[in-house]
Amino acid sequence: MKIAVCVKQVPDTWAEKKLKDGSGILDRESVEGVMNELDEYAVEEALKITEADGGGEVVVVSMGPERAGEAVRKALSMGADSGIHLVDDGLVGSDSVATSYALAKVLDGRGFDLIIFGSESTDARMSVVPAMVAERLGLAQLTFANKVEVSGGNVTIDRVTDNGLETITAATPAIVSVVEKINEPRYPSFKGIMAAKKKPVETLSAGDAGLDASQVGIAAAWSLVDSFAARPPKAAGVIVQDEGNGGVAIADFLSAQKLI
């Protein structure tokens, strides 16, 4: 089984982020870049499937600037076999539509049985790229999986929805996106980290991937940042000294907020 895992490098999810002076663009220099946390679950799931299968290949695919290569290495140190890194100045500012176009171009024709995504990136939080890539490649999409089973040319997932779980089956090749409940991503062993340094990573430019330059980058973006502002500082909370009236005070507060 040949599996692709798409990973994204994102600014550290829990860090305080700043905007570049006078622009709506994130100041990436000021925050540590990490592999999108949900993508770690995707990598783990791919590794588990090939391990259970007793063989196969896991290829990590990432689109992003030079330093997104770190995310690819991280996935390789977890145990993936090789990487593809799509990096090009022309891709800067691509939105999800453009990203899905670029990724689909890279993934197409490489013979993957399964393409796994994290269900969302922790920076943009759109959750649409897996579906868009599926649409572009004409493959079945099985999104928000908290359980994946592969057998006899079929993939079956438990899909998490607001109303409960749906069980969905599709023939491979197919696209799966996973949620964080699915597994516990492994911590790369030192052996893995050392081995990752020697694993092959194919670096592609937009031209190498056969991308139409007019469909990617900020100019081609379908979405626009209309306005932006720094998040206002947190307002001071209300402190109630409990002098026997604590319960009443809390109830008053909640009803004033129309919460009860």
Partner 1 sequence: MESEMAMRLIVGLALTIGILAFAGRRLLFLVKLARSGKPVTGRLSDPTARVQAETVEVLGQRKLLKWTIPGIAHVFAFWGFLVLGATILEVYGALFNPEFAIPVVGRWSLLGFAEDLFGLLVLVGIAIFAILRLTNKPEVKGRYSRFFGSHTTGAWLILFMIFNVVWTLFLYRAAQYNVSLYTGNDNFPFMNGGAFVTEWVASWLYPLGETANEWLEHIGIWLQIAVVLLFLLIVLHSKHLHIGAAPINVFTSRRPNALGPLLPIMYDGKPLNFEDPPDDALFGKGHIAEFTWKGYVDFMSCTECGRCQSQCPAWNTEKPLSPKLMIMNLRDTMFAQSEYLLAAKGKHPGLGEFDEAALASLSPEVRAEVERPFIGSREGSDHAAEDGYTPDGHRSSHADLPIIDEEALWNCTMCGACVNQCPVDIEHIDHFIDMRRNQVLIATDFPAELNGLFKNLENKGNPWGMNASDRNAWISEVDFEVSVFGANGEETIPDEVDYLFWVGCAGAFEDRAKRTTKNVAELLNIAGVNFMVLGDGETCTGDPARRAGNEFLFQMQAAQNVEVLNEIKAKKIVVTCPHCLNSLKREYPQLGGNYEVVHHSELLADLVKAGRLTPVNKIEQTVTYHDPCYLGRHNKIYSPPRELVAASAENAVEMERSGDKSFCCGAGGARMWMEEKIGSRINQNRGDEAIATGAKRIAVACPFCSVMLNDAVTSRQQEPGRAIGVEVVDISTLLLSASKS
Q: How far is CA 60 from CA 13, 179, 256, in A?
A: 21, 18, 52
Selected from 161, 162, 190, 214, the binder of partner 1 by CB under 8 A is 190
Choose among 228, 176, 203: nearest CA to 82.
Answer: 203
As a whole number of angstroms, the distance between CA 17 and CA 19 comes to 7
- Least distance (Å) between residue 147 CB and partner 1: 19
Residue 118 interacts with partner 1 (CB under 8 A): yes or no = no
Q: Which is nearer to partner 1, 16 or 89 (CB)?
A: 16
Strand order in the sheet with 154-161: 164-171, 154-161, 140-151, 174-178, 114-118, 2-7, 57-63, 82-86, 201-204
Neighbours of 144 (CB within 10 A): 22
Options 98-106, 174-182, 189-197, 230-238: segment touching partner 1 (CB under 8 A): 189-197
Task: Assign 197 to helix, strand or coil.
Answer: coil
Residue 16 interacts with partner 1 (CB under 8 A): yes or no = yes
Selected from 124, 193, 240, 249, the binder of partner 1 by CB under 8 A is 193
Options 52-60, 168-176, 187-195, 252-260: segment touching partner 1 (CB under 8 A): 187-195
Q: How far is CA 122 from CA 119, 156, 212, in A?
A: 10, 26, 28
Q: Which is nearer to partner 1, 170 or 193 (CB)?
A: 193
Q: Which of residues 24-53 bind partner 1 (CB under 8 A)?
A: 32, 34
Helix or strand run (H / E) with residue 49:
helix 37-53
Options 11-19, 56-64, 154-162, 238-246: segment touching partner 1 (CB under 8 A): 11-19
- Least distance (Å) between residue 17 CB and partner 1: 10
The site map against partner 1 for 134-173 (x = CB under 8 A) is: ----------------------------------------
As a whole number of angstroms, the distance between CA 76 and CA 192 comes to 8
Residue 53 near residue 1, CB atoms below 8 Å:
yes
Options 55-63, 138-146, 178-186, 208-216: segment touching partner 1 (CB under 8 A): 178-186
Selected from 186, 195, 215, 249, the binder of partner 1 by CB under 8 A is 186
Choose among 117, 57, 62, 103: nearest CA to 84.
Answer: 62
Which positions touch partner 1 (CB under 8 A)? 12, 14-16, 32, 34, 184-194
